[in-house]
Amino acid sequence: MLFPPHARVWTGRLLLLTLVVSALVAPWTFGPVHLQLGTQMLCLLALAYLWNLLAGYANIMVIGQHALVGMGAYAFYGCSVLLEWPLLQSLLGSLVVGLLAGILMLALIFQLRDAYLAVGSWVVAETLMLACTKFDAFGAGSGMGLPLDLVKRLGRNPTDRAIAIYTLVALVTALIAVSVYLLMRSRIGLALGAMRDNEEGAASIGVNTVRARILCFLWAAPLTGLMGALIALQKLRISPASSFSMTDWTIYVLFIVVIGGLGSLEGPILGTLLFFVMREFLQDLGVWYLILLGALAIAVILYEPKGLWGMLRRVLPDDLLPLRHRPPQTKRKPITP
Amino acid sequence: MWMSILNQLLQGVMVGGLYALFALGLAISSGILRFVNVAHGDLIVMVSYLFLSLVTGLGLHPLLAAVLLLPLCFGGAWLLQRVLLHRVVGQGVLPVILVTFGLSVIVQNGLQGVYGADTRKVAALGFESATWSLGGGVNIGALPLTIFVAAVLMIGGLDRFLYRTRRGAQLRAIADDVQAASLVGLPTQRLYGLAMGLVGLTVAVAASFMAVWTNFDPSAGPNRLLIAFEVVVLAGLGSLWGTLAGGILIGLAQTVGAQVDTAWQSLAGHLVFLAVFLVRPQGLFPKY
């Protein structure tokens, strides 16, 4: 035993803190190219946390979240360019549209179960994407670039813009991560944990299973839309192919969460790091990169369902970010006969 | 004018036959094996490419290639079930979706790596453009009619197999309650393999017809899966003839949509599905 168990946990927490701090001071320490890479990483991390909330904690497996990303991006374009709202209001607009699209998706697929729900969400996503290609104001099938004056609002030169976008994305990602943590520590999190263990048992002791699930979905949906808007800001364009891209916003996110560790807070971080490391070294392989990713995901599900974090967790006595609820310590003296 | 509309509607009904063939495999895997194979569409496309290789690479006659594909796909699907899918069948929703999703990504990119991203089509010695006249100006394509007849025959054959034979009864038993079935001594793993083999047969037929009728490329899988899924949900759980009805509905919707504008074709299909699903979520002819 090289490290005593509790030292390992605190080492892990220290590493996590270092990561967070380096992400926070990045605008001052990194140049625009690295900041853009950081922005991409944080975007995927945020989407990973949101999908993890849905699939890992609330057990709503959707594979249609790329529709919410796309709707958020298109809403942002609509608000900021067509309605000419200021930046902040446009972002809020994408939040609202994300919520509405989420409500629509939920209303359509809530009756379905399990795999039917997953593919049903995909059908809704496909429908929303096809519907968005019909509007010429949004560039129909080929999309539109964001106009220059909108881009200039972020900053006068590329470096300022990179810093501005990075800061926005970092703030939203932090908001998402913290909100997921707080949500899971609240009664909703307790309810979801009970439902995961035994849904009928949880319902029989009074857990409102429907309400818990719906709340999680309605929390994740607008934030996904907001991420879509930020992604459009980063890419400087909206289009059905890139804003609604299933590969970028569902497949990659799915693999990140599954390989990193589904149903944990540390897993998405591990998954994102691994994903970008793999991308750096393996991108020249072209199609083989995705094949490898798919094979890795299958291997993880078959042999280590809790992912990389699951493997690490076995040598750690506690989570880095504990979600467990300890029973309250009683101060009364025990009753002696 | 009415003649051309009638011809188009007839075409839509015939397309329904092809969609029913797509959906038949998914109906079996969701009804008997109780999982939705997200890679179903990609497997159809993969077999289409196999068909392409047999016809153009080996120079086989299309009919011979199609017949050759039948045992090949039966064996391949059986192998897939026994090697990979049996580990995740019945283990809850997450592993199945993730494994088949990973499989879908692998197949799509593998096909792109091997065959390239161009759209392909298999030429079937002019059969695909032959039309027969039914009199009164109504024309019907020979190929679409053949596909429709093949769909009806396959559904009828599967229906007979499931409901009139001993093996079919065993398959229905494991569909109802697999643990009880193994309690009475049924070889559940081998039956699962058989069920998946049947899926492979339908995939072989569907893929051969699809390869001759439409263009396909490595990324065409998800589109087929979504169509098959919509048809299965419209049909209702456990219904085989319902897939024909569902397929015709979607086919008609797409044809009508295409009349409005070619870009509305897919969207019309999806919208009709969502509308019918909202009104009748259990499907048109559910057995359970």
Q: What's the pLDDT tens digit per position in B103-141?
A: 999 999 999 999 988 888 887 777 777 777 776 667 788
Q: Please, what sign has the CA dihedral across residues B19, B22, B23, B24? A: positive
Residue A146 is predicted with a pLDDT of 84
pLDDT for A172 equals: 94
Residues comprising chain A, all counted: 337
pLDDT band at A161 (very low <50, low <70, confident <90, very high): confident
Q: Per-residue pLDDT for A329 more than 80?
A: no
- The distance of Cα A4 from the centroid of its chain, to the nearest Å, equals 33
DSSP sequence for A167-220: HHHHHHHHHHHHHHHHHHHSHHHHHHHHHHH-HHHHHHTT--HHHHHHHHHHHH
Q: Chain A closest CA to B180's CA: distance in Å?
A: 22
Kindly report the nearest CA distance between residue A141 and chain B, in angstroms. 10
Residue A3 Cα distances to A8, A12, A18, angstroms: 6, 12, 20
Go through B135-152 and write b for each residue having 16 or more CB atoms within 10 A of its CB, e for each that does not. Answer: eeeebbbebbbbbbebbe
Record the pTM: 0.89
| Distances in whole angstroms, Cα of residue B264 to Cα of each of A104, B5, B256 | 21, 17, 9
Say if residues A121 and A63 touch (Cβ distance below 8 Å).
yes
> Which one-letter amino acid corresponds to residue A179?
S
Q: What is the pLDDT of residue B196?
A: 93
Q: CB–CB of A138/A132 below 8 Å?
A: yes
Q: Kindly determine whether residue B229 and residue A123, on different chains, have CB atoms separated by under 8 Å.
A: yes
- For chains A and B, CB pairs below 8 A equal 114
d(C-alpha A87, C-alpha A75), whole Å: 12
Q: pLDDT per residue over A271-308, tens digit each? A: 999 999 888 888 777 778 888 889 999 999 888 888 88
Smallest Cβ–Cβ distance between B270 and the set A115, A126, A297 belongs to: A126
Looking at the DSSP bridge assignments, the partners of residue B133 are B139
Report the distance separating Cα B74 and Cα B194, nearest Å.
8
- Distance, first Cα to last Cα, chain B: 43
According to the model, what pLDDT value does residue A192 have? 87
Q: How far is A241 from chain B (nearest CA, A)?
A: 13
Q: Let me know the angle formed at the C-alpha of B84 by B81 and B87, rounded to the nearest 5 degrees.
A: 95
Angle between helices A87-109 and B265-279 (to 10 degrees): 60
The pLDDT of residue A3: 67
* Separation between Cα atoms, residue B223 and residue B208, nearest integer Å: 17
Of A112, A122, A305, the CB nearest to B95: A305
- Tell me if B102 and A122 make a contact (CB, 8 A cut-off): no
Number of neighbours of residue A323 by Cβ within 10 angstroms = 15
pLDDT digits (tens, 9 = 90+) for A207-263: 888 888 899 999 999 999 999 999 998 888 888 988 998 888 999 999 999 999 988
Give B-chain residues touching A122 at CB under 8 angstroms.
222, 226
Q: Express as a percent the part of chain A with pLDDT over 90.
A: 35
Measure A210 CA to nearest chain B CA, in Å. Answer: 18
Instruction: Give the pLDDT score at B72.
Output: 93
Picking from A291, A292, A296, A306 by the largest number of B CB atoms within 10 A of its own CB, the best residue to mutate is A291
Q: Which residue has tokens 């289009």? A: A239
* Chain-chain contact of B230 with A123 (C-beta, under 8 angstroms): yes
Lowest mean pLDDT among A122-131, A155-164, B118-127: B118-127
Q: Spell out which chain A residues touch chain B, with contact meaning CB-CB distance below 8 angstroms.
A: 55, 61, 63, 108, 111-116, 118-120, 122-124, 126-127, 130-131, 133-134, 141, 246, 251, 254-255, 258, 262, 286-288, 290-291, 293-295, 297-298, 301-302, 305
A181 burial class (0-12, 13-18, 19+ CB within 10 angstroms)?
middle
The number of helix segments (H) and strand segments (E) in chain B equals: 11, 2
Tens digits of per-residue pLDDT, A52-89? 999 888 888 899 999 999 999 999 999 988 888 888 88
d(CA B27, CA B159): 12
Q: Which residue of B has its CA nearest to A262?
A: B94
Measured CA to CA, the distance from residue A260 to residue A255 in angstroms comes to: 8
**Over pLDDT 70: what percentage of chain A?**
97
Q: What is the DSSP string of A239-269?
A: -HHHHT-HIIIIIHHHHHHHHH-TT-SSHHH
Do A320 and A16 meet the contact criterion of CB atoms below 8 Å apart?
Answer: yes
Q: Residue B257 in contact with residue B264, Cβ under 8 Å?
A: yes
A49/A152 Cα distance (integer angstroms):
30
Structure tokens given for B5: 């509309």
Distant-in-sequence, close-in-space partners of A18: CB < 8 Å, separation ≥ 6: none
Residue A212 identity: A
The burial class, CB within 10 Å (0-12 / 13-18 / 19+), for B194 is: buried
Determine the distance in angstroms separating the CA of B99 from the nearest CA of chain A, rounded to an integer.
Answer: 5
Decide if pLDDT at A1 tops 60.
no
Domains of chain B: 12-127+139-279 (1.10.3470)
Contact A192, A212 (CB under 8 A): yes
Task: Judge: A290–B270 Cβ closer than 8 Å, yes or no.
Answer: no
Contact of B97 with B75, CB cutoff 8 Å: no
Q: Tell me what ipTM this predicted complex has.
A: 0.89
Is residue A205 within 8 A of residue A52, CB to CB? The reply is no
Three-state DSSP class for B184? coil
d(CA A161, CA A151): 8
* Residue owning tokens 């193994």: B182
d(CA B29, CA B80): 13
Chain A environment of B102 (Cβ under 8 Å): 255, 294-295, 297-298, 301
3-state secondary structure of B133: strand
Task: Write the residue in B97, B266, B278 that is nearest to A61 by C-beta.
Answer: B97
Residues of B in Cβ contact (< 8 Å) with A246: 222
Q: Which residue of B has its CA nearest to A304?
A: B95
Q: B131 φ, ψ to 5°? A: -125, 150
**CB-based contact B103 A301, cutoff 8 Å:** no
pLDDT at B288: 66
Query: Which residues, listed in sequence order, are joined to residue B216 by a DSSP beta bridge?
Result: B120
pLDDT at residue A126 in the model = 93
> Quick count: other Cβ atoms within 10 Å of Cβ B286?
14
Pairing type for strands B131-133 and A237-238 reads unpaired
- Any idea how long chain B is? 288
Rounded CA-CA distance B54/A327 in Å is: 67
- pLDDT confidence of A325, banded at 50, 70, 90? low
Phi/psi of residue B184, nearest 5 degrees:
-85, 5
- DSSP assignment string, A78-120: IIIIIS---HHHHHHHHHHHHHHHHHHHHHHHTT--HHHHHHH
Neighbour count for residue B188 (Cβ, 10 Å): 18
Q: Which amino acid is at A192?
A: L
How far does Cα A119 stand from its chain's mean position? 19
For chain A, give the mean pLDDT: 87
Residue B140, H or E segment: strand B139-141
Gap between the Cα atoms of A122 and A130, Å rounded: 12
Q: How confident is the model at residue A2 (pLDDT cuts 50, 70, 90)?
A: low
Please list the ranges in chain B whose pLDDT falls under 70: 135-137, 288
The alpha-carbon radius of gyration of chain B (Å, integer) is: 19
Element (H, E) at B131: strand B131-133
Query: B86, B89, B93, B279: which to substitute to probe chain A, counting the most A Cβ within 10 Å?
Result: B93
Q: Residue A30's pLDDT is what?
A: 84
Nearest to B110 among A116, A134, A291 (CB): A291
